Amino acid sequence: METKKSKINIQSIPEDKQITITIGGIYYQRLNKLLVDYCDSVDQKKLISSLAKIKLDKYLTNDDYAFNLETLIILLKAIELKFNEEGYSIDNEVEIDLPVKEVGEDDIV
């Protein structure tokens, strides 16, 4: 296939610039679902490995999944912080199932 050079305009955003946007709770919930679905898209070992890399701040440039996961986490945490600062966050009590460890004689102190 033959090609030729041509010029087009693309928009870019400088890394040092910032803007303020308004995000509603429904959009935050959509982003939160995106994070959950993204985590569910890999096996548990990959997810745990990526979370460990994020915590240790290691190898993210070599791991696209961990890099993108951290990007989503940073975005969601920033949104949560702002909702909290504005007094819009609500604490809810939920009931969850936790695994129970069998207590044996060796475990009793």
Per-residue pLDDT tens digits for 24-55: 999 999 999 999 999 999 999 999 999 999 99
Q: What is the largest CA-CA distance in the chain?
A: 79
Q: Report the percentage of the chain scoring pLDDT > 90.
A: 75
Residue boundaries of the structural domains of the chain: 30-84
> Would you say 54 and 70 are in contact if contact means Cβ atoms under 8 Å apart?
yes
Q: What does the block give as tokens for 85? A: 């600062």
Please state, as a whole number, how many other Cβ atoms lie within 10 Å of the Cβ of residue 69. 22
Q: What pLDDT score does 109 carry?
A: 45
| Cα 60 to Cα 67: distance, rounded to the nearest angstrom | 5
CA 93 to chain centre: 23
pLDDT above 70 (res 107): no
Q: What is the pTM of this model?
A: 0.75
Q: How far, in Å, are 5, 73, 74 from residue 49 at the CA level?
A: 43, 15, 18
The pLDDT confidence band at residue 103, using thresholds 50, 70 and 90, is low
Q: What is the DSSP letter of 59?
A: S
Q: What pLDDT score does 9 carry?
A: 94
Tokens 């909702």 identify what position?
Answer: 83
